[in-house]
C-alpha cells in the first residue's frame, strides 16, 4: 500500500503524537522515520520534563501549547499507559537579585495561566540538601520518560493502523496538482497531505518542496546521569534562576521516572545536527555547577553521560530564542510544517497534535473510528508484581521465570514482548527503551548475551543483522567458526 | 510458592560456590542447595578456555572448563542439589531466600547462607570516556563470552584498554582468531597483568603495549570508527599535545572487576570500601551472623587456586557451625591495613588460632618486610623479596588468645 | 652465522630477572642475569626451541554449545602456532564430546594432539 492521505515525516514525539491523534479517525496515515525506532533523535535525549509554562514568553505558541499540553497530559497519560510523576519544581534564588528574577518568572507564569505558583523562603523549601535563599514553587511541573512517551503514542497509533516505516528516509518530494510524491530510500509513496515533523531535518524537508525562509541552528545539550543510590538527594526538580552570564550553564537537577537524577542540559551551538558527543569539559562543568546547588553529590555518583540536540530557529548571535512555527506552507497549503520544536516540545506535543488534526480536518473529511483500540494499561514490570501475579504468569508461560537482566530483574518474556512491538523496531536499543534490560549498573554485561540469543532463536534475526540502534551499528562481525554445509 | 528448607544455601555455582558446597558436604551437611542464574555450572570458568588454572592446587595447568569440571564431578558425586537458571530475587536477615526459575517462585529457608556471587566488569562510564556512543564497545569478559561460547567475533580492528590478565588474554585470543589487534593501552607505567601473560599474549605476537596512556575520546556515529589515546603523567593526568587517533572498529574495556554484592547489601551487610566485598572474620562470616562470603564477591582473586582454598574454608565453617546458636558475642579485633597495605582480609578476628590472611600492597616494591603490630609490639614478620599490587600476598599467622584479649586493632605494614 | 646478544625477561617466577645470553645457530651461551637455574633453562628453551601451550575452539555439530574448547597436549613450537591454528579452524566434531577426548592427532605433523577441555552433550530438541 503506497497511497496515503496523511504522510508524517519524523517519528519523534511530535510525529508520534500527531499519528496517535489521527489514528482515532478513519484515514490512512503513514509515518516515515529514518531511524531504526521511534524517538531516535531529540525526543529520546532530553530532560523528560513536563513543563508548567513559566519559561515561555507570554502570548507565544510555546506558552500556549505548553500549558495546554500540560493539562492534557493528566488524561492522556492514562489513555496510553504512560507514567507521569507530578513532582513539581523549585526555581531557586541565592540572593536578592535572583529573588527579583523569581518574581518576574511568577508574573510570566500567571500571564501564561500557570496555576498555584508560590514564592517561598528557604525554610519552607522541602529540600534539605539544596542551597538557596528563596525559591519559586511550581507544582504543575512533572516528569516522564521521554522515549516511553513517544513509544506509547506511536505503538497505540500503530495498533490503530497507522503505518510506521522505520529506516525509511525521505529523499525527495514532488508536489503535483493534488498530492505529494515522496521518494524514500525504500521506494515511492503518495500522500494528499504532508506533515513535516522532521525535527532537526525540518529544513531539509521544506527545501524539497519550496525555498525555506528560515534556518536551523542545532544546539547540543549534554547530560550526566547519577546512580539510583542517590535518588533521595532531591524530591522535586531544582532549577537555578535563568542565567545571563557567559560560561555559566545554569544546570538543572531533574529526578527521572526510574529513580536516577540527571544533571543538565548544557547549551552549545554546533554545526552538525548529528554531533551527539559528550565532552570532558561539559561533564566537568555540569558536575561542578550541580555541586554548588547540592554540595552532597559525590563524584562517583555519575554513572552515564549522553547528549541531545535541539532544533533552534534563532542563532546564538540572535539570542537563541524563537517561537514554535506551526503552520501550513503558504505556497503549498497541504504541507504542514512544524519548525523549531525544542523545549517545551515534549509537553506541547499532545496539544500541538490536536491542532494539527483540526488543520487536517479542514482539508479532508475525517470521521472518528468506530473501534479505536485503546492502549493496554502498562503492564507492571515483573519485579514490581506481587508474588501471586508472578507465579501465575510463570505458570502460563515459563519464560516469565527466566531472568535475563540481572540488574533490573527483567524476564525473558518481557524482552520478547519488547521485540514484538507493533512498530517493528528490533534493535538492542529498542529492547532497552521498552523494558529497560541493559540500563542497570552492569550496562548490558549479563543481558546482552540473552537478548542476542532471544533475537536469534525466537525472532530468527541473523546475528549479522543484530544492531545497537541503527543499520550500521552492528554488534558482530562474523562467526568464529563458520558452519559448513 | 515452592517452599524448601535446607541447612545451607549457596548463591552462585562458579568455582567459589562449587568449592564451598563440596567442603560443606565433606564436613557433614546434607541439605545443601546451590543456586545459579546460568544454565551451566562453573560460572565464568566456562568461557576461560586458556590454561593456567589449578597449577598450585593440582600440579597441572588446566583450562578454566577443566578446572570447573573437576569440581562439578565431585559436587555431582556428593549428590548436592543444584538449581540452574535460577535467579535470587530477594533475601532477608531471617535467612529466607526468594528465587525464581521456569518452575516458578521459590522460597528457601536456610540455616546458613554463602554468597558466592562473583563480580561484574567496570564499564566505560566508570572512567567517563567522552565522545560518541557507537556499537563496537565491549567489556573484555562479554567479548570473551561471545567468542568462546557463542561462536561470534565482535569486530576486526581491535584496541584493548587495560592490561589486566583478562585484557591480555583477549588480545591473544583475538589475534588467534584473525583479528587485527592494534594494541593494548594501559594507564599505569607497568602492565597490571602477570608478566607471563605480557610475554605470551603480547610479546609473542608483537602486539604493542602503550604504557602511561589512556583513551580520551571515542568516535563513531553508528559503529566505532576511531579512538584517541593520550599519554599521562605520574599523577595520571593527560599530558597536553600527546593525543593521537587510532582507527579501529572494536574497543575492549578491561578496566577491572567489581565484587557483586547487591544481594548482600539488601541485608545491610557491612562492605569494605576498598575491597568492595563484605567485611569478614577468620571464618569468612560477614557482619551478619550465619551469612558467609567467598570467591570474587569477597575480593578479586589472582588465581582460582587461592580462591578455592578460601571457599572451602567458608563451606567448612558454615558446616561445623551449622547448629551453633548465636551465643555471647566474643571479643573481636580489627585488622587494619597499615603502611603500604591497600587492604587485608579477614578484617576481623574473634577466635585464636592459625589465621589465613590475604592482602594487596599499594605499590610494587623489592625486598619488603611484612610486620604485624599489636599494641606497639611486633607479633609477626615475614620477608618478601618482591611485592606488587597485582599479586595477592597470602600468609598464615598465629593469633593468640592474649592478643585478642588485649588489643582492639592490630596493624599490618609493608615496608 | 652471526653471534647475537639477546636479553629476555624470565617469567618462571614473578621476580622477572633480565637474562642476557648469546645465540649463534644452535649454540646458547648464558652471559648473566639469572638468580636461579630455572631461569637459565627458561632462557635456553626460549632461545633455541620456544614452545607454547595452545588453547582454542573447534566447531561442534549438534551440541548444546556451538564450540568446544580444546588444548594442545603438549607445548607447540612457536613457529608452528599459526599453521596449527589454521588447521584446527577447519575441523568440526559431533556431539557428544567428553572432556579429554582427542579431537585431532598429530596436527600438521607436529606430533601434538589437541584434546577437548569441555564436555558437551547433544542438543535437546524442544
CB contact under 8 A, C9 and B199: yes
My answer on whether C81 and C65 are in the same domain is yes
Of the residues C12, C118, C119, C123, the best mutation for testing chain B's interface (the one with the most B CB atoms within 10 Å of its CB) is C118
Neighbouring CB atoms inside 10 A of C99's CB total 19
pLDDT at C10: 84
- Give the whole-angstrom CA distance, residue A481 versus residue A467: 21
With contact defined as beta carbons under 8 Å apart, do A24 and A366 qualify? no
Phi–psi pair at B139, nearest 5 degrees: -75, 150
Average the pLDDT over each of B217-221, B277-281, C1-5 and give the range with the smallest value: C1-5
CB contact under 8 A, C89 and A484: no
My answer on whether B134 and B216 are in the same domain is yes
With contact defined as beta carbons under 8 Å apart, do A155 and A52 qualify? no
Last residue of a domain, one of B255, B280, B295: B255
Average the pLDDT over each of A27-41, B87-101, C34-48 and give the range with the smallest value: C34-48
pLDDT at A245: 65
Q: Considering only alpha carbons, which residue of chain B is nearest residue A272?
A: B221
My answer on whether C71 and C112 are in the same domain is yes
A484 contact residues in C (CB cutoff 8 A): 59, 92
My answer on whether C19 and C64 are in the same domain is no
Of the residues A478, A479, A483, the best mutation for testing chain B's interface (the one with the most B CB atoms within 10 Å of its CB) is A478
B132 contact residues in A (CB cutoff 8 A): 276-277
Q: What share of chain A is helix, strand, coil (3-state, %, to 5)?
A: 35, 20, 45
Output the domain CATH number for residue B388: 2.60.40
My answer on whether B111 and B129 are in the same domain is no
What are the pLDDT digits (tens) for A380-403? 899 999 999 999 999 999 999 999
For the residues B329-338, what does the mean pLDDT come to?
90
B60 contact residues in C (CB cutoff 8 A): none
Is C36 touching B (CB cutoff 8 A)?
A: no
CB contact under 8 A, C71 and B204: no
Write out the residue limits of the CATH 3.30.9.10 domain(s) in chain A. Answer: 89-139+217-312
- Give the whole-angstrom CA distance, residue B410 versus residue B403: 9
Residue among A450, A392, A461, A365 nearest A420 (CA)? A461
pLDDT at A485: 55
Intra-chain end-to-end CA distance of chain C, in Å: 66
B89 contact residues in A (CB cutoff 8 A): 383, 403, 409
My answer on whether B290 and B373 are in the same domain is no
B149 contact residues in A (CB cutoff 8 A): 449
pLDDT at A112: 96
pLDDT at C26: 87
For the residues C78-105, what does the mean pLDDT come to?
96
Per-residue pLDDT of chain A (485 residues; tens, 9 = 90+): 699 999 999 999 999 999 999 999 999 999 999 999 999 999 999 999 999 999 899 999 999 999 999 999 999 999 999 999 999 999 999 999 999 999 999 999 999 999 999 999 999 999 999 989 999 999 999 999 999 999 999 999 999 999 999 999 999 999 999 999 999 999 999 999 999 999 999 999 999 999 999 999 999 999 999 988 899 999 999 999 987 665 566 799 999 999 999 999 999 999 999 999 999 999 999 999 999 999 999 988 888 899 999 999 999 999 889 999 999 999 999 999 999 999 999 999 999 999 999 999 999 999 999 999 999 888 889 999 999 999 999 999 999 999 999 988 999 999 999 999 999 999 999 999 999 988 888 888 999 999 999 999 999 999 999 999 999 999 999 999 988 65
My answer on whether B352 and B315 are in the same domain is no
With contact defined as beta carbons under 8 Å apart, do A270 and A310 qualify? no
CB contact under 8 A, C67 and A481: yes
Residue among B247, B224, B263 nearest B95 (CA)? B263
- Residue of C57, C58, C59 lying closest to A483 (CB–CB): C59
Nearest-CA distance A286 → chain B (Å): 13
Is B105 touching A (CB cutoff 8 A)?
A: yes
Interface of A with C (CB under 8 A): 480-484
Q: Which residue has the higher pLDDT, A203 or B413?
A: A203
Of the residues B46, B151, B168, the best mutation for testing chain C's interface (the one with the most C CB atoms within 10 Å of its CB) is B151
With contact defined as beta carbons under 8 Å apart, do A115 and A137 qualify? no
With contact defined as beta carbons under 8 Å apart, do B286 and B264 qualify? yes
Neighbouring CB atoms inside 10 A of B308's CB total 26
pLDDT at A246: 59
Residue C90 domain flag: yes
From start to end of B22-153, where are the E strands? 32-35, 51-53, 62-63, 81-83, 87-91, 96-101, 104-115, 119-121, 137-139, 152-153
**Highest CATH level, class, for A382-465:** mainly alpha
Residue C122 domain flag: no
My answer on whether B115 and B137 are in the same domain is no
Nearest-CA distance B391 → chain C (Å): 9
- Give the whole-angstrom CA distance, residue A36 versus residue A469: 6
Residue C34 domain flag: yes
My answer on whether B49 and B148 are in the same domain is no
My answer on whether B112 and B3 are in the same domain is yes
My answer on whether C109 and C59 are in the same domain is yes
Of the residues A457, A476, A481, A484, the best mutation for testing chain C's interface (the one with the most C CB atoms within 10 Å of its CB) is A481
A397 contact residues in B (CB cutoff 8 A): none
Domain membership of residue B171 as a residue range: 123-255
Nearest 10 degrees: Cα torsion A168, A169, A175, A176: -30
Residue spans of alpha helices (H) in B226-366: 262-266, 304-320
Nearest-CA distance C74 → chain A (Å): 24
Last residue of a domain, one of B214, B229, B255: B255
My answer on whether B201 and B157 are in the same domain is yes
With contact defined as beta carbons under 8 Å apart, do A451 and A431 qualify? yes
Write out the residue limits of the CATH 3.50.50.60 domain(s) in chain A. Answer: 1-85+143-214+316-377
Question: Chains contacting C with at least 3 CB pairs below 8 Å?
Answer: A, B
CB contact under 8 A, B100 and A390: yes
- Residue of C9, C59, C67 lying closest to B148 (CB–CB): C67
- Give the whole-angstrom CA distance, residue B16 versus residue B293: 9
Interface predicted TM-score (ipTM) of this complex, two decimals: 0.94
- Give the whole-angstrom CA distance, residue C2 versus residue A255: 72
- Give the whole-angstrom CA distance, residue B186 versus residue A368: 64
Q: Which residues of A have a catalytic role annotated?
A: 51
Angle among Cα B72, B75, B102 to the nearest 5 degrees reads 75
Nearest 10 degrees: Cα torsion C8, C12, C17, C20: -40
A475 contact residues in B (CB cutoff 8 A): 135, 154
Neighbouring CB atoms inside 10 A of B303's CB total 18
Residue spans of alpha helices (H) in A249-370: 280-293, 345-361
Last residue of a domain, one of B266, B291, B323: B323
Q: What is the pairing mode between strands A180-184 and A187-196?
A: antiparallel
C66 contact residues in B (CB cutoff 8 A): 150-151
Residue among A212, A214, A215 nearest A332 (CA)? A212
A304 contact residues in B (CB cutoff 8 A): 125
With contact defined as beta carbons under 8 Å apart, do A72 and A83 qualify? no
C11 contact residues in B (CB cutoff 8 A): 194-196, 199-200
For residue B17, what is the enclosing H or E element? helix B15-26
Is B39 touching A (CB cutoff 8 A)?
A: no
My answer on whether C43 and C73 are in the same domain is no
Domain count, chain B: 3
Nearest 10 degrees: Cα torsion B76, B81, B87, B92: -130
Q: Which fold has domain A1-85+143-214+316-377?
A: FAD/NAD(P)-binding domain (3.50.50)
**How far is C-alpha C109 from the geometric centre of its chain's CA atoms?**
15
For the residues C69-81, what does the mean pLDDT come to?
95
For residue B67, pLDDT over 60 is answered with yes
Nearest-CA distance A407 → chain C (Å): 26
Domain count, chain C: 2
What are the pLDDT digits (tens) for A451-468? 999 999 999 999 999 999
CB contact under 8 A, C117 and B66: yes
CATH number of A89-139+217-312: 3.30.9.10
SS (H, E, C) A135-182: EEEECCCEECCHHHHHHHHHHHHHHCCCEEECCCCEEEEEECCCCEEE
Output the domain CATH number for residue B106: 3.50.50.60
pLDDT at A376: 85
Q: Considering only alpha carbons, which residue of chain B is nearest residue C53?
A: B51
What are the pLDDT digits (tens) for A289-333? 999 999 999 988 888 899 999 999 999 999 889 999 999 999 999
- Give the whole-angstrom CA distance, residue A241 versus residue A100: 10
Average the pLDDT over each of A172-181, A361-370, B379-388, C74-83 and give the range with the smallest value: B379-388
Intra-chain end-to-end CA distance of chain A, in Å: 39
Size of interface B-C (CB pairs under 8 A): 59
CB contact under 8 A, A445 and B222: no
My answer on whether B112 and B170 are in the same domain is no
My answer on whether B292 and B218 are in the same domain is no
Question: Chains contacting A with at least 3 CB pairs below 8 Å?
Answer: B, C
Residue C71 domain flag: yes
Partners of residue B223 on adjacent β-strands: B135
Q: Considering only alpha carbons, which residue of chain B is nearest residue C69?
A: B49
CB contact under 8 A, A483 and C58: no
Domain membership of residue C25 as a residue range: 4-49
Bond prior to A265 in cis (omega within 30° of 0): yes
Last residue of a domain, one of C16, C32, C49: C49
- Residue of A401, A443, A452 lying closest to B100 (CB–CB): A401
Model pTM score: 0.95
For residue A309, what is the enclosing H or E element? strand A302-312
Of the residues A273, A276, A397, A446, the best mutation for testing chain B's interface (the one with the most B CB atoms within 10 Å of its CB) is A446
Residues 5-34 of C with CB under 8 A from B: 9, 11, 14-16
CB contact under 8 A, A446 and B156: no
My answer on whether C33 and C76 are in the same domain is no
My answer on whether C40 and C60 are in the same domain is no
Partners of residue B333 on adjacent β-strands: B349
Angle among Cα A149, A155, A157 to the nearest 5 degrees reads 105
My answer on whether B107 and B164 are in the same domain is no
Amino acid at each position: 500500500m503506497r497511497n496515503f492521505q496523511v504522510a508524517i515525516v519524523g517519528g519523534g514525539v511530535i510525529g508520534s503524537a500527531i499519528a496517535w491523534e489521527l489514528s482515532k479517525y478513519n484515514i490512512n496515515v503513514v509515518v516515515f522515520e529514518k531511524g531504526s525506532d521511534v524517538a531516535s533523535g531529540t525526543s529520546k535525549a532530553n530532560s523528560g520534563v513536563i513543563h508548567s509554562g513559566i519559561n515561555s514568553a507570554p502570548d507565544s505558541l510555546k506558552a500556549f501549547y505548553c500549558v495546554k499540553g500540560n493539562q492534557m497530559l493528566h488524561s492522556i497519560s492514562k489513555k496510553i499507559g504512560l507514567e507521569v510523576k507530578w513532582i513539581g519544581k523549585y526555581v531557586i534564588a541565592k540572593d536578592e537579585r535572583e529573588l527579583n528574577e523569581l518574581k518576574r518568572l511568577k508574573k510570566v507564569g500567571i500571564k501564561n495561566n500557570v496555576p498555584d505558583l508560590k514564592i517561598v523562603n528557604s525554610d519552607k523549601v522541602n529540600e534539605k540538601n539544596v542551597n538557596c535563599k528563596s525559591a519559586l514553587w511550581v507544582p504543575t511541573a512533572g516528569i516522564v520518560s521521554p522515549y516511553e512517551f513517544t513509544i506509547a503514542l506511536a505503538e497505540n497509533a500503530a495498533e490503530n493502523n497507522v503505518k510506521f516505516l522505520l529506516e525509511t528516509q525521505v529523499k525527495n518530494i514532488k508536489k503535483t496538482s493534488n498530492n505529494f510524491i515522496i521518494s524514500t530510500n525504500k521506494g515511492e509513496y503518495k500522500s494528499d497531505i504532508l506533515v513535516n515533523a522532521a525535527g532537526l531535518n525540518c529544513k531539509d524537508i521544506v527545501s524539497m518542496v519550496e525555498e525555506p525562509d528560515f534556518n536551523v541552528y542545532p544546539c547540543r545539550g549534554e547530560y550526566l546521569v547519577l546512580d539510583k543510590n542517590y535518588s533521595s538527594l532531591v524530591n522535586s526538580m531544582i532549577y537555578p534562576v535563568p542565567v545571563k552570564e557567559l560560561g555559566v550553564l545554569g544546570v538543572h537537577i531533574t529526578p527521572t521516572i526510574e529513580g536516577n537524577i540527571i544533571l543538565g542540559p548544557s547549551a552549545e551551538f554546533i554545526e552538525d545536527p548529528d554531533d551527539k558527543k559528550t565532552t570532558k569539559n561539559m561533564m566537568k562543568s555540569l558536575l561542578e555547577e550541580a555541586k554548588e546547588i547540592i554540595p552532597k553529590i559525590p563524584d562517583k555518583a555519575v554513572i552515564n553521560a549522553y547528549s541531545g540536540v535541539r532544533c533552534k530557529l534563532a542563532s546564538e548571535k540572535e539570542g537563541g530564542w524563537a517561537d514554535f512555527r506551526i503552520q501550513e506552507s503558504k505556497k503549498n497549503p497541504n504541507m504542514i510544517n512544524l519548525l523549531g520544536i525544542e523545549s517545551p516540545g515534549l509537553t506541547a506535543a499532545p496539544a500541538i497534535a490536536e491542532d494539527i488534526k483540526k488543520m487536517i480536518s479542514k482539508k479532508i473529511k475525517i470521521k472518528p473510528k468506530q473501534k479505536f483500540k485503546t492502549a493496554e494499561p502498562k503492564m507492571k514490570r515483573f519485579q514490581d508484581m506481587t508474588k501471586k501475579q508472578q507465579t501465575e504468569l510463570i505458570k502460563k508461560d515459563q519464560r516469565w521465570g527466566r531472568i535475563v537482566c540481572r540488574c533490573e530483574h527483567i524476564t525473558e518474556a518481557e524482552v520478547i514482548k519488547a521485540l514484538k512491538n507493533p512498530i517493528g523496531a528490533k534493535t538492542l536499543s529498542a529492547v532497552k527503551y521498552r523494558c529497560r534490560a541493559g540500563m542497570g549498573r552492569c550496562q548490558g554485561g549479563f543481558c546482552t548475551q540473552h537478548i542476542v540469543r532471544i533475537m536469534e532463536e525466537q525472532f530468527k534475526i541473523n546475528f549479522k543483522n543484530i544492531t545497537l540502534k541503527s543499520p550500521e551499528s552492528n554488534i558482530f562481525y562474523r562467526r568464529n567458526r563458520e558452519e559448513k554445509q | 510458592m515452592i517452599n524448601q528448607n535446607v541447612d545451607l544455601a549457596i548463591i552462585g555455582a562458579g568455582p567459589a560456590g562449587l568449592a564451598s558446597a563440596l567442603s560443606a558436604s565433606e564436613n557433614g551437611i546434607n541439605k545443601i542447595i546451590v543456586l545459579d542464574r546460568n544454565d551451566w555450572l562453573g560460572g565464568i570458568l566456562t568461557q576461560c578456555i586458556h590454561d593456567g588454572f589449578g597449577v598450585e592446587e593440582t600440579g597441572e595447568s588446566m583450562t578454566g572448563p577443566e578446572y570447573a569440571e573437576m569440581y562439578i564431578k565431585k559436587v555431582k558425586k556428593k549428590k548436592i542439589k543444584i538449581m540452574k537458571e535460577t535467579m535470587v530475587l530477594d533475601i532477608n536477615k531471617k535467612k529466607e531466600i526468594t528465587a525464581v526459575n521456569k518452575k516458578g517462585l521459590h522460597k528457601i529457608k536456610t540455616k546458613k547462607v554463602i554468597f558466592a556471587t562473583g563480580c561484574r566488569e567496570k564499564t566505560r562510564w566508570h572512567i567517563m570516556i567522552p565522545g560518541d556512543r557507537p556499537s563496537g564497545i565491549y567489556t573484555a569478559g562479554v567479548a570473551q563470552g561471545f567468542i568462546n561460547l557463542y561462536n561470534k567475533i565482535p569486530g576486526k580492528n581491535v584496541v584493548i584498554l587495560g592490561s589486566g590478565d583478562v585484557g591480555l588474554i583477549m588480545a591473544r585470543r583475538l589475534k588467534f582468531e584473525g583479528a587485527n589487534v592494534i594494541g593494548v593501552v594501559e594507564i599505569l607505567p607497568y602492565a597490571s597483568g602477570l608478566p607471563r601473560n605480557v610475554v605470551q599474549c603480547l610479546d609473542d605476537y608483537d602486539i604493542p603495549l602503550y604504557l602511561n596512556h589512556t583513551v580520551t575520546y571515542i568516535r563513531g556515529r553508528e559503529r566505532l570508527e576511531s579512538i584517541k589515546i593520550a599519554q599521562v603523567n605520574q599523577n595520571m593526568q593527560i599530558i597536553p599535545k600527546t593525543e593521537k587517533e587510532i582507527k579501529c572498529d572494536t574497543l575492549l574495556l578491561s578496566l577491572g572487576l567489581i565484587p557483586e554484592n547487591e544481594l548482600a547489601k539488601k541485608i545491610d551487610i557491612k562492605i569494605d570500601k576498598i575491597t568492595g566485598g563484605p567485611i569478614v572474620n577468620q571464618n569468612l562470616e560477614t557482619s551478619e551472623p550465619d551469612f558467609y562470603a567467598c570467591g570474587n564477591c569477597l575480593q578479586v582473586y589472582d588465581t582460582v587456586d587461592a580462591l578455592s582454598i578460601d571457599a572451602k574454608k567458608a563451606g567448612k565453617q558454615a558446616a561445623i557451625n551449622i547448629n551453633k546458636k548465636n551465643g555471647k558475642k566474643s571479643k573481636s579485633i580489627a585488622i587494619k591495613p597499615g603502611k603500604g597495605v591497600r587492604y587485608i582480609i579477614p578484617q576481623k578476628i574473634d577466635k585464636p588460632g592459625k589465621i589465613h590472611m590475604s592482602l594487596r600492597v599499594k605499590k610494587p616494591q623489592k625486598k619488603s618486610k611484612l610486620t604485624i603490630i599489636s599494641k606497639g609490639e611486633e607479633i609477626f614478620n615475614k620477608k618478601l623479596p618482591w611485592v606488587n599490587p597485582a599479586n595477592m600476598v597470602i600468609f598464615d599467622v598465629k593469633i593468640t588468645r592474649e592478643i585478642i584479649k588485649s588489643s582492639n586493632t592490630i596493624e599490618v605494614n609493608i615496608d | 652465522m652471526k653471534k647475537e646478544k639477546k636479553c629476555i625477561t624470565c617469567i618462571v617466577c614473578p621476580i622477572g630477572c633480565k637474562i642476557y645470553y648469546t645465540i649463534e645457530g644452535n649454540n646458547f651461551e648464558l652471559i648473566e642475569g639469572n638468580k636461579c637455574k630455572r631461569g637459565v633453562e627458561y632462557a635456553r628453551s626460549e632461545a633455541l626451541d620456544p614452545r607454547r601451550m595452545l588453547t582454542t575452539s573447534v566447531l561442534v555439530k549438534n551440541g548444546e554449545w556451538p564450540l568446544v574448547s580444546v588444548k594442545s597436549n603438549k607445548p607447540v613450537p612457536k613457529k608452528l602456532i599459526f599453521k596449527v591454528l589454521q588447521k584446527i579452524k577447519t575441523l568440526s566434531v559431533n556431539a557428544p564430546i567428553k572432556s579429554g577426548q582427542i579431537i585431532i592427532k598429530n596436527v600438521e605433523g607436529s606430533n601434538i594432539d589437541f584434546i577437548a577441555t569441555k564436555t558437551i552433550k547433544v542438543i535437546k530438541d524442544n
